[in-house]
């Protein structure tokens, strides 16, 4: 029976450390996720201050010597013999990532040489569970959709999740709420989310988007960001 290797669906706040000359060097604070990229399980940490900056990208291997210490620390050795550590803000976040690492390692260790069963089981990793459609979760939703869109298996899994949960219908009311709040950040994230959904190029999703009850809301999400950005720019000009 295949192990449950589903990657964590939420980002966990963490500090990344690297051992240099017997001292732990702080590489920065960011948000940690487990992902499957190019059919390989990996740990990613994106910078808290600059999300486009990747503080850590490491492939989970069976020989990494991963250890969970206390409740908030994971340490291991990279293939180049560099010692690394993740120090989590919360014990719960550490436990989630550790379970993912531990399950992947156990599975790798159980594979016979030359067995291609890993590829089959990694298909099960390509399942997507999106957070509830709420303004507070838009950053995580945007992040998860971008991550899932990296591979074809991820795109297929995301499409199935969106269709199964009727997720587009749940997102549409958030456009009106964000407009009423004049929240540029939320409107921008909603715009990115709608773009990600359309770019999945899934027939069922496209058919849903172009239906009368939905298309106005989707177009609104794609347009309102630019409208509010324009008004915001004018307001700043007047203020100055």
pLDDT of residue 4: 45
- pLDDT tens for 82-140 read 889 999 999 999 999 998 888 888 777 766 444 554 555 555 555 778 889 899 998 88
Quick one: pLDDT at residue 236?
Answer: 33
Assess whether 164 and 83 both reside in one domain.
Answer: no
pLDDT of residue 239 exceeding 70, the answer is no
What is the pLDDT, as a whole number, of residue 229? 42
How many residues are present in the chain? 240
Per-residue pLDDT, averaged over 48-66, amounts to 85
Residue 95 resides in a domain: yes
213's CB contacts (< 8 A; 6+ apart) are: none
Full domain range(s) for residue 149: 135-224
Cβ atoms of residues 16 and 84 within 8 Å: yes
- Specify if 40 maps to a domain: yes
Predicted confidence band of residue 13 (pLDDT cuts 50, 70, 90)? very high
Q: Are residue 99 and residue 139 in the same domain, yes or no?
A: no
Beta bridge partners of 30: 14, 47
Residues 106 and 20 in one domain: yes
Whether residue 153 lies inside any domain: the answer is yes
Tokens 């849903």, residue?
208
One domain, residues 93 and 171? no
Domain-embedded: residue 3: no
Query: CA 67 to CA 77: how far, in whole Å?
Result: 10
Q: Based on the domain organization, do 69 and 30 belong to the same domain?
A: yes
Percent of the chain with pLDDT strictly greater than 70: 80
236 within some domain: no
Which segment of 23-37, 169-183, 216-230 scores lowest on mean pLDDT?
Answer: 216-230
The number of distinct structural domains making up the chain is 2
Ranges of H-type helices in 56-90: none
Q: How far is CA 228 from CA 72, 216, 224, 232, in A?
A: 41, 17, 6, 6
**Residue located via tokens 């436990």:** 95
Last residue of one domain, picked from the residues 76, 110, 144: 110
At residue 179 the predicted structure's pLDDT band, cuts being 50, 70 and 90, is confident
Is the pLDDT confidence value at 230 over 50?
no
- Residues 150 and 99 grouped into a single domain: no
Q: pTM score, two decimals?
A: 0.49
**14 in Cβ contact with 45 (< 8 Å):** yes
pLDDT at residue 191 is higher than 80:
yes
Give the integer Cα–Cα distance in Å for 222 and 189: 10
Q: Does any domain span residue 119?
A: no
Q: Using the predicted structure, report yes or no on whether residue 181 has a pLDDT greater than 60.
A: yes
In a domain, 239, yes or no: no
DSSP state of 34: E
* Domain harbouring 80, CATH code: 2.30.29.30
Cα separation of 63 and 75, whole Å? 13
Residues 99 and 170 in one domain: no
Give the gyration radius of the chain's Cα atoms: 20
Assess if residue 2 is contained within a domain. no
Residue 237 confidence class, pLDDT cut points 50, 70, 90: very low
The secondary element (H helix, E strand) that includes residue 122 is helix 117-125
């Amino acid at each position: 029976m295949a192990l449950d290797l589903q990657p964590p669906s939420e980002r966990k706040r963490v500090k990344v450390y690297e051992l240099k000359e017997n001292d732990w060097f702080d590489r920065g604070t960011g948000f940690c996720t487990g992902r499957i990229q190019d059919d390989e399980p990996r740990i990613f940490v994106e910078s808290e201050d600059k999300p486009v900056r990747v503080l850590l990208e490491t492939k989970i291997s069976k020989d990494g010597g991963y250890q969970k210490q206390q409740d908030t620390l994971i340490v291991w050795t990279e293939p180049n013999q560099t010692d690394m550590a993740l120090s989590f803000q919360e014990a719960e976040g550490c436990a989630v990532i550790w379970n993912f690492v531990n399950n992947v390692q156990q599975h790798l260790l159980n594979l016979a040489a030359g067995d291609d069963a890993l590829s089959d089981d990694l298909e099960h990793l390509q399942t997507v569970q999106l957070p509830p459609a709420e303004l507070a979760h838009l950053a995580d939703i945007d992040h998860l959709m971008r991550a899932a869109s990296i591979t074809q298996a991820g795109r297929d899994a995301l499409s199935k999740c969106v269709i199964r949960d009727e997720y587009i219908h749940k997102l549409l009311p958030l456009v009106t709420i964000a407009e009423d709040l004049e929240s540029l950040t939320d409107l921008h994230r909603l715009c990115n989310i709608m773009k990600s959904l359309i770019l999945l190029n899934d027939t069922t999703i496209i058919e849903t988007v172009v239906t009368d009850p939905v298309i106005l809301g989707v177009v609104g999400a794609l347009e309102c960001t630019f409208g509010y950005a324009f008004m915001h720019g004018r307001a700043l000009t007047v203020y100055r």
